[in-house]
Amino acid sequence: MIPSLGCDPDRNIVSLGAKILKVLSHSSFEINHLLVFCSERLSVSIDHIIISLDWLYMIGAIDYCDSEVFLNEAG
Q: What is the mean pLDDT of residues 45-51?
A: 92
CA atoms within 13 A on the CB side of 34: 28
Contact assessment for residue 16 and residue 44, using Cβ atoms and an 8 Å cutoff: yes
- Of 5 and 50, the structure prediction assigns the larger pLDDT to 50
Give 7-32 pLDDT, tens digit per residue: 677 778 888 999 999 999 999 999 99
Distance CA 12, CA 17 (A): 8
The pLDDT of residue 8: 72
- Domain 9-71: give its CATH code: 1.10.10
Domain boundaries, the chain: 9-71
6 CB burial (10 A radius; 0-12, 13-18, 19+): exposed
Closest by CA to 36, choosing from 19, 55, 50, 54, is 50
